[in-house]
Amino acid sequence: LKTALKDPSLLVSKAFVAGKWVDASDGKTFAVTDPFDGALIANVASLSREDVHKAIDQAEIAQKEWAKRTAKERTKALKAWFDLIIANADDLALILTTEQGKPLAEAKGEVVSNAAYLEWFAEEAKRLDGDIIPGANPGQRIMVIKQPVGVCAAITPWNFPNGMITRKAGPALAAGCSLILKPAAQTPLSALALAVLSERAGIPAGVFSVVPGDAEPIGLEFCHNPKIAKITFTGSTRVGRWLMREASDNIKRLSLELGGNAPFIVFDDADLDAAVDGAMISKFRNAGQTCVCANRIYVQDSVVEAFTEKLLAKVATLQLGRGTDTGTTQGPLIDERAVAKMEEHVNDALQHGAKLMAGGQRSALGGNFYQPTVMTGVTQAMKVAREETFAPLAPIIAFKDEAEVIAMANDSEFGLASYFYAKDMARIFRVSEALEAGMVGVNTGMIANEMAPFGGVKQSGLGREGSKYGIEGFVELKYICLSGI
């Protein structure tokens, strides 16, 4: 990998603490491998809980200085970081693909589209306006200011190893917080490469740190160290629930971006070709490993056959392979556990009467590859309709009318993304408002961008990333009662 990079210095295996590149105090490391073939890429420093404790002390000192800077200075540093990410996007994409497996074009798309969160929040830093409110009593004014919450801890997943970081670092740093990040064990190299660029951009030492290591001890340190004001997490609902419980002793602020089980609905008045294109993007991007992936595809009775046929034609064009090979549109799944879950959902559906239309098996490529799979005759009771599959499985569930499909779509403890295709304007409003989800894609399968509030309802999480709302989780409101004036 190193020799393939234009700038080999972006590939690092040490942790980044208080502006220094460090090993674990006990010298411990963990292996990072290529999910394509299991080849070793690097042995990365595995920090202990004690190491992270010390890093938090440094992050606290750095935060105080950072918060004193003018918004304009913070804007400048974040913009410089953004510019460096764009300038190095090819290398960052190659590092990402090598440790994560997704096709290179998708990796570059992730890097560039999520760097936009840094650019966006660099601009928002200057707009953290307060309020002056008329006083409740004579001689009084109510003044409201926004202040950074303090030192923030981030825990990010492996499915978007680069993008999930800039989404969190952007608002945190813009608000005047410092951020200490534990990346996923499968994909720490993208995080460390971003740290190299943060240093070059002039983000001061300790304002952004990366502390790879075992999830649980570091998670416990984040939850129980009183110097951490807030935890921002993207990952499974299981871990989110655990963090919330552990963080409750100290009443920590939490943003949680958790699992989803997105319904993707195709009504009889939809443009079917557009719906198929949307389903392909929403279902098969990143081999089905995104939290906003269509998990359940509901198609109205009268168009189910036509939709399925068109979808199968598109699925047949998917090309499995190494992410760096030209033409690859689907890489391997992240690990054996992911393949096993796909298998479990496919087998459960088949046992309960679903019909296999494409795929249904591990790929001949071996390893972590599974064929893109389409099934019809799926019902609400099957595992694939109840749990997040996080793999390239498109289950088609037929429905009769709007009321039925809304009830089925909402019959989930999750509420992250949802999608539907329709033309009738009244229906578009009715269904958008009725879906229990933080986000609704109408006639589109791609909804995330830096200008929109990304997040979920129900057990899909708390808080929003992106947009003017995305910075709110990183500031506290302070009310100053001005009297005697």
Name the site residues for ligand ADP (rule: CB under 6 A): 155-157, 182, 184-185, 215-216, 219, 235-236, 239, 242
CA angle 450, 453, 457 (to 5 degrees): 145
Active site (annotated) includes residue 257: yes
- Interhelix angle 71-87/188-200, rounded to 10 degrees, is 120
CB of 249 or CB of 269, closer to ligand ADP = 249
CB of 6 or CB of 337, closer to ligand ADP = 337
**Beta 29-33 vs 461-462: how paired, if at all?**
unpaired
Distances (CA, A) of 214 to 55, 195, 242: 15, 19, 15
- Minimum CB separation of residue 124 from ligand ADP in Å reads 26
CB of 388 or CB of 402, closer to ligand ADP = 388
Query: Which residue in the list 257, 388, 402, 472 is annotated as catalytic?
Result: 257
Q: Which residues contact 264 (CB under 8 A, 6 or more apart)?
A: 278, 279, 282, 283, 294, 295, 296, 297, 298, 418, 419, 420, 445
Give residue 78's identity as a one-letter amino acid code. Answer: L
CB of 213 or CB of 278, closer to ligand ADP = 213
- Minimum CB separation of residue 159 from ligand ADP in Å reads 7
CB of 169 or CB of 440, closer to ligand ADP = 169
Cα 331 from Cα 344, distance rounded (Å): 20
Distances (CA, A) of 303 to 252, 311, 379, 458: 49, 12, 17, 31
- Minimum CB separation of residue 210 from ligand ADP in Å reads 12
478, β-bridge pairs: 145
CB closest to ligand ADP, residue no = 219
- Minimum CB separation of residue 268 from ligand ADP in Å reads 36
- Minimum CB separation of residue 291 from ligand ADP in Å reads 9
Residues 286, 164 contacting (CB under 8 angstroms): no
Strands (E), 204-274: 208-210, 228-234, 253-257, 262-266
Catalytic residue list: 257
